[in-house]
Chains A and B, each alone.
Chain A
């Protein structure tokens, strides 16, 4: 059989070409995964979490919110002052306390109610996360939240010469919380605050009190943090001082224990910011603690139908 060389070569080339075509389709998943990871690293935005360990720093609100569907029970106790002397066991014989329950409605909105024994005050608040700190593709340097608190003082009124209206017992606080988590060890927050008194003792006294809170936490071990909180008042009621607190947080499986020293006997925004009646220099220091325990009320959807 006579066959031109050219045609033979042509057919052989076609067969060879098809064989090459098969090799070109070899998929390498490992390389695909590595390329995808590199791409994701550039594209992703990491939202910063756990700036502080719980929703209250010491006395005041922190940037943290309670997760959606989660209930946080808070018990706070402040003993008497250390300068009460040995007879009063350095303040351990007296105390004020607050019991409260917080709930996360969504991941951004939480609400809470509580009652303090100091002046028999009920409080209710809402805190909303406006901005979350993030790194990566979308870089946001701080987290910002807004908190509004309403306080009702149920203490019986002393005799007065003027008629008392029920709104006289209400106080409000508006706070903007600006926080930044610098690294896994240190976080800082600034809290410009407005406390409003519906009624004040003198016509010359203002109804609005402005202050700036500053708080920090410094991690010293895996489960222990040192915290500090100071509220500087731009205008204050005579006889009262700025609130300064130092504490440390200990985390265990389901609880966060906060131990602190503070010159504020009160635990809600109006009381601890504008009605702190003692100074650290005078030994008017209260030892106290906060215990927070979380309960899951609404399970995350993902786990609803999971069978282990």
Chain B
């Protein structure tokens, strides 16, 4: 009995070793593309703040709208002032879960397909979204990448050119390498 309890006692410590690990990055990339056949509308944000937890699959993204860089300065001004109104809503964020996180082995290098579900808030409006992508594990460090589409008008963004020069759906691509 003494040995059994001792073994159980030591074993209980091992439970604490399997702690949750928090991965984060402040230089993640989010690409935005709402181009139409008439006009190229594309921007990149390389200062995305993202965190994820391996055990629970919790994942969050936080982007500053003013950090989206366009080739055309006037287009960037319109994006901020007229469409996204970034002075009122300076950030866009995503809070969600990687639903099949248990299929990802963080100790083994490889590319694992994943599905993501959660709440995306843009322009002050929150919508439930789901998408798919990949987690690539390299020496214990994960990197996520994936693409999904959003209907621009669903986020309260309005303007004459949406559906015309600006596509109705914007393609969002995420590329984050975590530490």
Seen from chain A, the residues whose Cβ lies within 8 Å of a Cβ on chain B are: 1, 3, 8, 11, 14-15, 18-19, 21-22, 25-30, 32-33, 36-37, 44, 46, 49-50, 66-67, 70, 184, 222-223, 251, 253-254, 256, 294, 296, 299-300, 302-303, 306, 308
Q: Specify the main secondary structure of chain B where it touches its partner.
A: mixed
With A and B bound together, what is the CA distance between A97 and B59 in angstroms? 58
Contact of B69 among A21, A25, A300 (CB under 8 A): A300
- Is A303 within 8 A of B69, CB to CB? yes
CB-based closest 9 A-B pairs: A67-B73, A18-B12, A302-B69, A29-B58, A15-B12, A300-B69, A29-B60, A33-B60, A306-B44
Q: List 10 A-B contacts (CB under 8 A).
A: A15-B8, A15-B12, A19-B15, A30-B58, A32-B60, A37-B93, A49-B80, A251-B78, A253-B75, A306-B31
Residues of B in contact with A, size category: 35 or more
Q: Are A296 and B73 in contact (CB under 8 A)?
A: yes
Taking a contact as CB atoms under 8 Å apart, the answer to whether A11 and B77 are in contact is no
Residues of the B chain whose Cβ atoms lie less than 8 Å from the Cβ of A30: 58, 60, 95
Establish whether residues A18 and B13, one from each chain, have CB atoms under 8 Å apart when the complex forms.
yes
- How many Å from the CB of B86 to the closest CB on chain A? 9
**B residues neighboring A (CB under 8 Å):** 1-2, 5, 8-9, 12-13, 15-16, 19-20, 22, 31, 33, 35, 39, 42-46, 49, 51-53, 56, 58-60, 62, 69-75, 77-78, 80-82, 87, 90-91, 93, 95, 159, 161, 165
* A27 and B44 contact, Cβ closer than 8 Å, known pairs A1-B1, A37-B62, A303-B69: no
Residue from the list A1, A222, A254, A306 in contact with B72, Cβ < 8 A: A254
Residues from chain B with Cβ under 8 Å of A256 in the complex: 74
Total A-B pairs, Cβ < 8 A: 109
Does B22 lie within 8 Å of A27, measured CB to CB?
yes
Contacts A11-B5, A15-B12, A296-B72; is A50 near B81 (CB within 8 Å)? yes
Q: Could you say which residues of chain A place their CB within 8 Å of the CB of B5?
A: 8, 11
* Chain B residues with CB under 8 A of A8: 5
CA distance A3 to B3 in the complex (A): 12
In the docked arrangement, what's the CA distance between A199 and B109, Å?
78
Chain B residues whose C-beta falls within 8 Å of the C-beta of A15 in the assembled complex: 8-9, 12
**Are A27 and B87 within 8 A (Cβ)?**
no
Q: Output the least CB separation between B123 and chain A (Å).
A: 15
User: Cα distance A8–B6 when bound, in Å?
Assistant: 11
Q: Which residues of A contact B71 (CB under 8 A)?
A: 296, 299-300, 303
Closest-CB distance, B178 to chain A (whole angstroms): 13
List the A residue with the shortest CB-CB distance to B6: A11
Nearest CB in chain B: distance from A101 CB, A = 16
A306 to B9, CA, bound (A): 54
Cα distance, A1 to B77, chains bound together (Å): 80
Do the beta carbons of B12 and A49 come within 8 Å of each other? no
Give A153 Cβ to nearest chain B Cβ, in Å. Answer: 33
A50 contacts B77, C-beta separation under 8 Å? yes
12 additional contacts, CB 8 Å, given A32-B51, A253-B161? A14-B12, A18-B12, A27-B56, A29-B52, A44-B90, A49-B81, A222-B82, A251-B78, A254-B74, A256-B74, A302-B46, A303-B70
Q: Which residues of A contact B20 (CB under 8 A)?
A: 25-27
Bound form: Cα–Cα A303–B29 in Å: 11
B83 nearest in chain A by CB position:
A222
* B-chain residues with CB within 8 Å of residue A296 when the two chains form the complex: 71-73
User: A25, B19: Cβ atoms under 8 Å?
Assistant: yes
Q: Interface centre among A36, A66, A254, A302, by most B CB within 10 Å?
A: A302
Given A26-B20, A27-B22, A303-B44, decide whether A253 and B62 contact each other with a Cβ distance below 8 A: no
From known contacts A46-B90, A303-B71, infer whether A29 and B51 are also in contact, taking CB-CB under 8 Å. Answer: yes
- In the bound complex, residues from chain B placing their C-beta under 8 Å from that of A44 are 90
Asked, given contacts A8-B5, A18-B16, whether A294 binds B62 with beta carbons under 8 Å apart, the answer is no
Chain B residues with CB below 8 A from A32, complex form = 51, 60
Residues of A within 8 A of B78 (CB): 251
Chain A contacts for B75, CB-based, 8 A: 253
B14 nearest in chain A by CB position: A18
Question: Which among B59, B70, B74, B91 has the highest number of chain A CB atoms within 10 Å?
Answer: B74
